[in-house]
Amino acid sequence: MRQKNMLLPTLREAPSEAEAVSHQLLLRGGYIRQLAAGIYSYLPLGYRVLHKLEQIIRQEMSTAGFDELLMPAMQPSELWEQSGRYTEYGPELIRLEDRHDRGFVLGPTHEEIITSLVAAEVNAYRKLPLRLYQIQTKFRDERRPRFGLLRGREFLMKDAYSFDTDWQGLDEAYQSMVQAYRRIFERCGLRFKAVEAEAGSIGGEGETLEFMALADIGEDTIVTCSACDYAANLEKATFYQQEISASMDVKVPDMEEIYTPDTRTIEELSVFLNEKSQAFLKTMVYMADDQPIAVVVRGDHEVNEFKLKNALGASNVELADLQTVEKLTGAPHGFAGPAGLDIPVYLDLGAASVVDGIAGANRKDYHVRHINAGRDFQALKTGDYRNATADDCCPHCGQKLLFSRGIEVGHVFKLGTKYSKSLDAKFTNADGREELMIMGCYGIGVSRLMSAVAEQYQSETGILWPLQLSPFQVHIIPVSMKDEVQSGLANELYRELKLAGIDVILDDRDERPGVKFKDADLIGASLRIIVGKAAAEGQVEWLNRLNGSEKEQLGVEKVLELI
Ligand code: ATP
Ligand code: MG
Ligand code: MG
Ligand code: MG
C-alpha cells in the first residue's frame, strides 16, 4: 500500500483513557478507533492483523476437520428462553424488540442457534459426527468494558461446535480442538498456558480448559506449578478448597481415645500446616526418649484420600502395609473410629529433617511411605489459593506454585447434553432408538487475541509484531520523496516486492524523515528498507526489527535476497 492515501491516523500521545499498553499502541498506530465504550472500528491496519489471525485460525480449524458457516447475530429470544439462558445470562445479554414487539437478542455466543439448526437438519446417527465453526461478531453488554479490544461489548469470536453420538466422539473432538488451539497460539507467537477451568455461564457437564495469554495486565489469575504441568485458573484452583471446606464441619473424634500420644500444639507444627489445615486437622506427636518419632494428623476421610492419590503420583512414594506403618511410627495402628473419619497422616520426625514419612487414610492400601514433608505433605495440605502465598505447593507434586496473570484467549468445553436436551437435538441410533446428541463448544476471542499479542510484543515505540501477523512485512521509506533517484528506487522496490506477494507499504508522503521513522515504529512492520542518498549507488539501509540488529547498508540485490 501507498501510505499517502491510507487511513492511517497515528498519534504522538496515547489517549489518557487507555490503560493497557496494547490499547495505547493500537490507538496510536492507527489500528483501531473507539465508537462507544467497548465498541471499535478496525482501521485498515488493524483489519490486516485481524485477517492474518483469522487465516491461521481457519487453516487449523480446517485441519481439525471443522467446516465454516455463518449464523445470525440477531436471534429470536424464544430460543434463549428454551435453553433457560434468557434470564440466566443476566444483563450481559443485549435484548431488543422488532416492530411487531417480537423479542430478540444480539448473540453473545451461539449454542442455542447451532443446536436448533442441527436439531432441525440432522436426525440419524449416520449424519454424525458434525464439526462446525464460524468467525463472527458477538455482543456482550460487559459491566466493565476495558483495555480496548481485550474486553469489548462488540467483539470478534471464533466459535466452534461438535455434535457426536457418544462421549468418546466428544472426547476426540475436544482433544482435536485442544491440539488445534495449541497450534493456533503457537503460530501467533503467543506465550500461553492451557489451564483447568470452570464452565461459567456456558455450563455443561464435562471438562473445560482455558487458554491464557501470559500478561501482567490480564484479568485472570493463573496458578501453575514450577515443576510439573499442573495449571489452573484461580476459580478452579479454589474448587479443591471449596470441596475441602465443605468437609470442615465434620467432627473429628477424640484422638486420645484411640492412642495415648504426647500432644504437641498445632503452633509447633505449623511449619507443616497452612492455616486451613490447622483449622480442621488435629495434630499429635508420638514421643520416644523425649524425641518426636511421629506426627499424626487427623482430618476428613475423603480429603486425605484425595490428597493421597496425589501424593502417590509423586516420585518414589510407595504404598506401605500396616506392619510397616506400625514399625515406622512406633505406634499401634488400628482401623478404629467412625468409618470414614479416622484418617491419620503420619510424619516421622525421627531426625531433624524427615527421613521416612508415612501418610495414610485409615484403610488398607491407603498408606504410603517415603513421604517427604516439604514436598508431599505440603502437597497434601488444603490449598486456599485465593490467599495463597509463595509457600503454597502444587496439589499434584508438592513443588512450588507460581501465580501469574493471564488473558483468556480461548476456551474449550465439553457440554454433553445441556443444549441438546433443552433444544431437543436428538438422533436415532443404529437400533432405531432416539438419543440426545453429545455436544462440545470451543471459542477463541479473535479480536482479544490481537490485543493479547500486541500486549506481549509491545516496545516503547510501537508494536513489534511477529512477522506472520505484522500488518506489513516490509516498510519502504524513502528519506526524500522529492529526490527522483530515491523515489524511483523506492517505487521499483515496492513493485517488485508486491509482485513477489509480500505485504509491503511505501511511505510516499512528503514528510520529514523523523516523522516517517516514528510513524514506521508505530505501524510496526517487521522489516524496513530506508532509501537515502546512497540510492544513487544502488545501496539502501536495511533493518530487521525482529532480531534487534542495527541498521546496515546493503546493495538492493542483497536486500531482496534477504527478504
Ligand atoms: P471472560 O472470562 O474474559 O469474561 P468468558 O469466559 O466470558 O470471557 P467465553 O464465553 O468463554 O468468554 O467466550 C469465548 C472467548 O471469547 C473467550 O475465551 C475470550 O477469548 C473471548 N471473549 C469473551 N468475552 C470477550 C469480550 N468481552 N471481549 C473480547 N473477547 C471476549
Ligand atoms: Mg465473560
Ligand atoms: Mg472466563
Ligand atoms: Mg470462558
Question: How large is the average pLDDT for residues 29-34?
Answer: 97
Test site for ligand 1: of 141, 408, 442, most ligand atoms within 8 A of the Cβ: 408
pLDDT at 311: 42
Beta bridge partners of 42: 32
Rounded mean pLDDT, 443-449: 98
Higher pLDDT, 222 or 479: 479
Average of per-residue pLDDT across 324-345: 42
Q: Which residues of 196-227 are buried (b: 16+ CB within 10 A; e: fewer)?
A: bbebeebbbebbbbbbbbbbebbebbbbbbee
Res. 328: pLDDT tops 70? no
The C-alpha atoms of residue 385 and residue 108 are separated, in whole angstroms, by 30
Q: Is the CB of 337 under 6 A from ligand 1?
A: no
Nearest-CA residue for ligand 1 atom 1 is: 408
pLDDT band at 80 (very low <50, low <70, confident <90, very high): very high
Q: In which band, very low, low, confident or very high, does the pLDDT at 288 lie, cut at 50, 70 and 90?
A: very low
Does the structure show a pLDDT above 70 at 326? no
Nearest ligand 1 atom to the CA of 153 is: 27
Buried b (16+ CB within 10 A) or exposed e, 408-438: bbbbbbbbbbbbbebbebbbeeeeeeeebbb
Q: Tell me the C-alpha to C-alpha distance, in Å, between residue 55 and each of 50, 313, 408, 452.
A: 9, 41, 20, 17
What is the C-alpha separation between 394 and 401, in angstroms, rounded? Answer: 5
The mean pLDDT value for 412-440 works out to 96
List, edge to edge, every strand of the sheet that includes 367-371: 318-319, 367-371, 357-360
Backbone angles phi, psi at 255, to 5 degrees: -60, -40
The preferred substitution site among 89, 448, 450, 451 for testing ligand 1, maximizing ligand atoms within 8 Å of CB, is 448
Q: What is the pLDDT of residues 452-508, one digit of tens each?
A: 999 999 998 999 999 999 999 999 999 999 999 999 999 999 999 999 999 999 999
* Ligand 1 pocket, residue 200 CB under 6 Å: yes
Mean pLDDT of 28-52: 97
- Average pLDDT rounded to a whole number, residues 542-546: 91
Residue 98: per-residue pLDDT: 97
For residue range 88-116, what is the model confidence (pLDDT) as tens digits?
999 999 999 999 999 999 999 999 999 99
Euclidean distance between CA atoms 64 and 179, whole angstroms = 9
**Can you give the pLDDT at residue 399?**
62
Distance CA 213, CA 207 (A): 20
What's residue 200's pLDDT?
Answer: 60
Q: pTM to 2 decimals?
A: 0.76
Query: pLDDT grade, residue 397 (50/70/90)?
Result: low
Q: Give the model's pLDDT for residue 323.
A: 67
Q: What is the ipTM of this complex?
A: 0.99
Strands (E), 453-508: 474-478, 504-506
267-286 confidence digits (pLDDT tens): 433 333 333 333 233 333 44
CA distance 552 to 561: 15
DSSP-derived pairing of the beta strands 401-416 and 208-214: antiparallel
From start to end of 452-555, where are the E strands?
Answer: 474-478, 504-506, 527-531, 539-544, 552-555
Mean per-residue pLDDT, 225-238:
74
Residue pLDDT, tens place only, 121-149: 999 999 999 999 999 999 999 998 999 99
What pLDDT score was predicted for residue 383? 36
Please give the average per-residue pLDDT across 439-450, as a whole number.
98
Most confident range, picked from 199-203, 247-251, 314-318, 399-403: 399-403
pLDDT band at 516 (very low <50, low <70, confident <90, very high): very high
What integer pLDDT is reported at residue 385 of this predicted model?
A: 38
Task: For residue 142, give the C-alpha cell.
Answer: 460487559
Q: Which pLDDT value is given to residue 367?
A: 53
Task: Tell me the pLDDT tens digit for each residue of 170-207.
Answer: 999 999 999 999 999 999 999 999 998 876 655 555 78
Ligand 3: centre distance to CA 155 (Å) = 15
Q: State the chain's mean pLDDT as an integer.
A: 78
- Say whether 93 sits in a helix, a strand or coil: coil
Ligand nearest to the CA of residue 151, numbered in listed order: 1
**Residue appearing with cell numbers 514506521:** 520
Cβ count near 291 (within 10 Å):
11
* Ligand 1, pocket-test mutation among 34, 89, 411, 444, most atoms within 8 A of CB: 411
Does 455 or 251 have the greater pLDDT score? 455
Do 460 and 180 contact (CB within 8 A), yes or no?
A: no
pLDDT band (50, 70, 90) for residue 359? low
Q: Which three cell numbers stand for residue 300?
A: 476428613
Please compute the mean of the pLDDT values over residues 68-85 and round it to a whole number. 97
Please give the residue that has the higher pLDDT: either 338 or 80.
Answer: 80
